Amino acid sequence: MKNVKCSPAYGGQEMKKECNLFSSHRISHIAYRYFLLCTLYFVLTGCEEKLKPSVTNTLVGRDIPTQESWNTTITFTDSGKLVAILKAGHIATYSEKRYTLFDSNVVVDFYDEQERHTSVMTAKTAKVDDFTQDLEAHENVVVVSDSGTILKTEELFWSNYSKKVHTQAFVDITSPTEHIQGHGFESDRGLRNYTIFRVTGQAKPANDE
């Protein structure tokens, strides 16, 4: 079909009126197509927003433990020999991060090379590296040795390699022969040979005064 120009030469006013109607029809058709495109854009955009994963949910999901247990006992050994026995009211294992968290009355019994009991530690929470078997205890940490020495601190670390406990935090130690306080501490698991790196207070036990 040939294009028709809107000109009075093709019928005067009637042709002009017909051309105006044709132009209005084209404008309406373009507006309708524009409306459909806009509607389709907003629909697709809305769907895309709904399909986007929630960042918060993703982060929370990563913190979900792979395994949990309650009122559990874990035994630590080295070359078949008993090293420690840990008990806790709640245990959460994170396999991808390779550590295990403990809370609700954490109790750890330590044993020497002859598998004799040397001391017991209590703490509010603890964490064990599943690869090295190193342990760290936090909040209200108390170690009582079988020899009568008592250690109090807010954090304590146990090295499975050296079989020693250590911390950089403040410590309060009461033994049968002295009461000593300071920052920085290292000792064997039985608290028989310990070192305080920065002593801030020292005195005889109260019952000797």
C-alpha distances out from residue 191 to 19, 60, 128, 156, 209, Å: 104, 40, 21, 13, 23
Task: Identify whether the C-beta of residue 176 lies closer than 8 Å to the C-beta of residue 194.
Answer: no
Closest CA to 185 of 141, 128, 146, 147: 141
Q: CA–CA separation, 152 vs 146, rounded Å?
A: 15
Residues of the chain with pLDDT under 50: 1-22, 47-61
pLDDT for 112: 93
Domain spanning 65-208 has what CATH number? 2.60.450.10
Q: What is the pLDDT of residue 117?
A: 98
SS3 148: coil
What is residue 31's predicted lDDT score, i.e. its pLDDT? 60
Asked if residue 77 lies in contact with residue 113, where contact means CB atoms within 8 angstroms, the answer is: no
Provide the pLDDT for residue 66. 93
Which two structure tokens, joined as six digits, stand for 81? 């020999």
What is the C-alpha separation between 71 and 76, in angstroms, rounded?
Answer: 17
